[in-house]
Structure 1
């Protein structure tokens, strides 16, 4: 359908950097002239991108390319909340940063061929001053050229915001598998848990446009005082 072609071109503009994160989109009339389509076709393409959080519509201001800032991260991707208090942004502390060859499981999750180079990053996330989440992140080195521990640690935004701002990789969706298991020794030490203790394990594959895998992440969560909350919205 015609609106899908317009949507694809708008995505191409974002991927190429022509439409930068936070930039305002031209108005519907100008876009219609550019693509030689009706305003209704433009509106349908933009509406889908807004629903997918790729674009952000602000009343009275216009439509903007979405930025993966703290607010969007908390709304779309962070699902661990205190049981009896409002949600809060986690304090992220780097534990390990290394570059090595992908394991078979990592290669499969990231759609890599063979044992390509990957970055492995481990973080401990603190909430209410307590270590609550042990994250193990794997990303393809080819997708994030030049990434190093110094630049990763010095980022001034979320990890997904850093992917977007520094490498042009926009995370638009993620698939998660959640299960309960007993904590392993390394996570137990980082989260101050006794062995054996039950924890929540979340395996996430985060995708950029066209469902291209960009990140494989395993999160081990101490749920004694925290819950996993999934936010659902009505489909229209």
Structure 2
């Protein structure tokens, strides 16, 4: 494999912009290529910094800086005395990365895992809007899923709290069924990762307050006219490839949306 270029500027004059990214960013991109290609799968140990430095013909410090950024992006996980591993959605610290609705008392353990009820899981044709969001052609196949997530209330009874609609590209998620999703005990993104080979690495969200229609209010068991939080998420795998459009309606009478900024 050719060594990354260490040139950083052009020779076109004093106002020239950098022609190449910093060296550690080039190494980060090369490691990302290997992750995307599946050379190192979720949960697997990647080569040591010394081995990677030899592979890319750069210093160990350059590799360390690239790995630090990938760890900061939750794509790699450092384990003291064991090495660096590819992050996986089955790990506890990653599991709640995309879970932003938390009970008002802040105790995620009190209400236990969400009870999932699937109302629909079918293969259909993408509308123009869905196709555009997922980078597909109009009428390409998509998987459409509708589910309700319920949490234990103060009296222990399950309270429907989130109504979600998901759209997924039909190709990568061929064979997805409601039964398969319902029987999987871990997070949905862990299912996508372990059974379909699709790892969500980042997401973009749009949040607004809305009023539910009659069907949505009935499913969530709230009076008509109850304000709900609408969260629209596009989740991406490596190389910024969109792999999921998710639209959720959240009750906020006992929960709130929390986002940690850093």
TM-score, reference length from structure 2? 0.83
Higher-Rg member (1/2): 2
The answer for unaligned runs of 5 or more in structure 2 is: 1-21, 153-157
Give SS of 1:130's match. strand
1:94 is matched with which residue: 82, 106, 118?
A: 118
Verify the 8 A CA contact 2:121 2:144 in the aligned structure 1.
yes
Counterpart position of 1:9: 30
Counterpart position of 2:207: 178
Verify the 8 A CA contact 2:217 2:223 in the aligned structure 1.
yes
CA distance in 1, matches of 2:202, 2:35: 16
CA deviation profile, 1:95-118 (whole Å, cap 9, x unmatched)? 211111111221121121222110
Counterpart position of 2:167: 138
CA deviation profile, 1:28-81 (whole Å, cap 9, x unmatched)? 111111222110111111111101100011223221100012624543100001
CA drift at 1:188: 1.2
Counterpart position of 1:194: 223
Counterpart position of 2:148: 124
Poorly superposed stretches of 4+, deviation over 6 Å: none
1:167 is matched with which residue: 179, 196, 199?
A: 196
CA distance in 1, matches of 2:128, 2:226: 28
CA RMSD of aligned residues (A): 1.7
Query: Matched residue pairs, number?
Result: 233
Give SS of 2:143's match. strand
Verify the 8 A CA contact 1:15 1:168 in the aligned structure 2.
no
Counterpart position of 1:18: 39
TM-score, reference length from structure 1? 0.92
> Which one has a larger percent helix, Structure 1 or Structure 2?
1
Counterpart position of 1:60: 81
Q: Which moved more, 1:86-95 or 1:183-192?
A: 86-95
The answer for unaligned runs of 5 or more in structure 1 is: none
CA distance in 2, matches of 1:125, 1:113: 31
